[in-house]
Amino acid sequence: MKQRRHTPRLAGLAVLAAAALVATACGSGGGKSATASATPLKGGTATVPLLSGTQPNWIFPFESLAYASTYNDNLQAMMYRPLYWFGGENTSPTVDYGLSTATAPVYSNGGKTVTITLKGWKWSDGESVDAADMIFWLHMMQAEYQNWFAFVPGGIPQNISSVTATGPDQVTLQLNKAYSSLWYTYNELSQVTPMPMAWDITSLGATPGSGGCTTDSPADHWAKCKAVYNFLTAQAKNTGTYATSPLWSVVDGPWKLTSFSTSGNDTLVPNPKYSSTPKPQLAAVKFATYTSDTSEYTALQSGSLDQGEIPPADLPAKSVGQALPSTNPLPNYTLQPDYEYRFAYYQLNFANPALGAVFRQLYVRQALEYVADQETIAKTIDRGYGYPTTGPVPTEPPNKWIPPVEQGAGPYPFSIAKAVGLLTSHGWSKVGGVMTCTDPAKCGAGIAKGQQLKMTLNYATAQTAFAQEVEVYKSDAAEAGIDLNTVGQTFNTIVGEAVPSNKSWQGAMYGTWVYAPDYEPTGEELFATGAGANGGSYSDPTMDKLINQTTTSGSLSVFDTYATYAAQQLPYIWMPDSYHIFAVAKNLHGVVQNPLNTLLPEYWYFTK
């Protein structure tokens, strides 16, 4: 679920980071003619647009919640390949073993033993991507699990009883009990990224492996791994050295970094020692930043971009039941729909000293959900390209996990009257237009008389449609006596603040969660007590129990029980999502809008 991770992603923006291109083929820019030859060209530069505030800012593929985002993940994964790659050159949210550094895991002993065989790829320094590199990562997780955003108590690495290199390229895991093989592959092994021995050091220039994390053990409380982690994170904070440090230049992916700036001015070129296929045909990929989706679209209209997203406000009308607009506003481009495997929401801080007790009341969360007019936002602001979020399972693209409760408008269709009724029946009354607790015996534990339902909701800026959505929600909430102070911030700022250790924030609205690196949409990473990505400190014993059941059973009915409970319990407040329309120049090929938003420019090429 990586924002890859929150996967958090601002609705519509990470798509730009994942797929949108500004391309310059063979030194020339702009949209190309539809009558050109289909002969592939070798070379050309593709520039990926980002919006201000979403630029990558963390290179080390071991990140805390403050740095967990698809923007960082896409940059990292271009250079450092995970054990298993999800979201290939297709439109399915599934594993692609061809792009993975290991073959499919083999489960035995009733699901308690897992054998992973690495393919023998090479790092750019000549070292093999082998068993030791995988063990290095697992030891790092054991030592620093509290700093790994995807950590869930009792999950990987704590559900591993032993790790053994049973061959130069083979690792065997003994698990503490039998797990669903689908869940363990999709949600546990999916988190692992082999790391080179060149990183197992505690100072620049040290001998690879001299840090000792790969051979460390609990006997010294993982002291060696902690020292290596401290060194690597200190290096990762020094963003000015990303393109020049010998540390980050050791890659096993198809790309390597040649320039970097936190302003979003980054360039990657092919890694000539990449072991797998396809080999990049482009000469370079560039990240460039736009101040807004409007400025990005203006550049697209001028012909200076070869691919980009059309903002909702600029999309033509479309017929009901059709994915693409009835007319193409950019005739020199081909239009592509992009449905992402995600859900939209905003997060509450259950640990906030002023409002935590209020948020812990289900009826309050239900009231906050009832005032979300998702259908109207989807039809107006999202121009018919939007749809409601009714629970934690993505309803687009279609998948087997969608529970019946999430169909249609879901359990809490828009109703200001129901929101008011819930609050007044629980001891709240409007005082000066704001709901105020006047009967604390009904309001709930920890809520004092005179408590007002006033909340600061921080929201991510830079996308016009998203800001409009916040204003509609604020207006409807006000009718129910819920006073929202909406504060715009950059995506990176909100992600950095909405963490469990920060109790000051109250509501955080930055967009969506793409299921990564937990690709089966179970809720352990988001909703389990103490989970690393549980930034709002949500905790519910029944939720924990139902989540645990999904990890050991592959039964769809077990999953439906969990998903139904989550949709009704509102650990997050569900908000409308939308799919995106991309314009791709007719001389640009190999671009697929993958629902997991994985970035694969090694498939891209230009034609004349």
* Predicted confidence (pLDDT) per residue in 162-219, tens digit: 999 999 999 999 999 999 999 999 999 999 999 999 999 999 999 999 999 999 999 9
Contact by Cβ (8 Å): 66, 491: no
Angle subtended by helix axes 541-552 and 556-569, to nearest 10: 160
Cβ(164)–Cβ(19) under 8 Å?
no
Q: Provide the pLDDT for residue 570.
A: 98
**What average pLDDT does the segment 416-422 reach?**
98
The Cα–Cα gap between 371 and 331 comes to 40
Q: Which candidate, 137, 368, 304, places its Cα nearest to that of 232? A: 137
Is residue 435 scored above 50 in pLDDT?
yes
More confident residue, 479 or 599: 479
Angle, CA of 408, 411 and 414, to the nearest 5°: 80
Question: At 76, phi and psi to the nearest 5?
Answer: -60, -45
Q: What is the pLDDT of residue 57?
A: 94
Q: Which residues pair with 170 in a beta bridge?
A: 117, 167
Q: Work out the average pLDDT over 18-40.
A: 40
User: Measuring CA to CA, which residue among 508, 495, 545, 553 is closest to residue 523?
Assistant: 545
- Sequence-distant (6+) residues with CB within 8 A of 99 are 81, 85, 88, 276, 600
- Phi, psi dihedrals of residue 310, rounded to the nearest 5°: -90, 120
pLDDT band at 126 (very low <50, low <70, confident <90, very high): very high
236 CB-contact burial (10 Å; exposed 0-12 / middle 13-18 / buried 19+) = buried
Does residue 402 contact residue 513 with C-beta atoms inside 8 Å? no
Residues in the chain: 608
Q: Tokens for 129, please give them.
A: 């991507």
For residue 228, the SS3 value is helix
* DSSP code for 391: S
Mean pLDDT computed over 451-465: 91
Helix, strand or coil for residue 456?
strand
Q: What is the pLDDT of residues 495-514, one digit of tens each?
A: 899 999 999 999 999 888 98
pLDDT tens for 271-288 read: 999 999 999 999 999 887
Q: List Cβ neighbours of 252 (8 Å cut-off, separation of 6 or more).
A: 79, 80, 81, 101, 121, 122, 123, 124, 129, 194, 196, 271, 274, 275
* Segment 441-469 mean pLDDT: 93
pLDDT of residue 70: 86
Long-range (24+ apart) CB contacts under 8 A made by 33-40 are 33/332, 33/586, 33/587, 34/332, 34/586, 36/586, 36/587, 36/607, 36/608, 37/607, 37/608, 38/589, 38/607, 39/607, 39/608, 40/281, 40/589, 40/605, 40/606, 40/607
How far apart CA 78 and CA 208 sit, in angstroms, is: 23
Q: So what's the pLDDT on residue 286?
A: 87
In this prediction, residue 287 carries a pLDDT of: 85
Q: Domains, the chain, ranges and CATH?
A: 1-89+252-335+581-608 (3.40.190.10), 102-236 (3.90.76.10), 342-578 (3.10.105.10)
pLDDT at 313 over 90: no
Residue range 41-70: average pLDDT?
Answer: 89
Question: What phi and psi values does residue 99 have, to the nearest 5 degrees?
Answer: -95, 5
Alpha-carbon Rg for the chain, nearest whole angstrom, is: 24
Instruction: Please report the pLDDT score of residue 71 as a whole number.
Output: 86
Whether the CB-CB separation of 6 and 71 falls below 8 Å is answered with: no
pLDDT tens string 76-86? 999 999 999 99
- Tell me the pLDDT band of 367, cut-offs 50, 70 and 90: very high
pLDDT at position 18 is: 33
According to the model, what pLDDT value does residue 31 have?
A: 34
Residue 519: alpha-carbon gap to chain centroid: 11
More reliable by pLDDT, 518 or 192 = 192
- The lowest-confidence range among 201-210, 239-248, 325-334 is 325-334
Q: How far apart are CA 297 and CA 569, in angstroms?
A: 39
Express each pLDDT in 66-104 by its tens digit.
998 888 999 999 999 999 999 999 988 899 999 999 999
pLDDT digits (tens, 9 = 90+) for 536-574: 999 999 999 999 999 999 899 999 999 999 999 999 999
pLDDT in the model for residue 113: 98
What would the two tokens of residue 345 be? 């929401």
Indicate the average pLDDT of the chain: 91
Mean pLDDT, range 115-121, rounded to an integer: 98
**Rounded Cα distance, 528 and 517, in Å:** 16
Query: Which range among 21-35, 225-239, 422-436, 468-482 shows the weakest confidence by mean pLDDT?
Result: 21-35
pLDDT tops 70 at residue 37: no
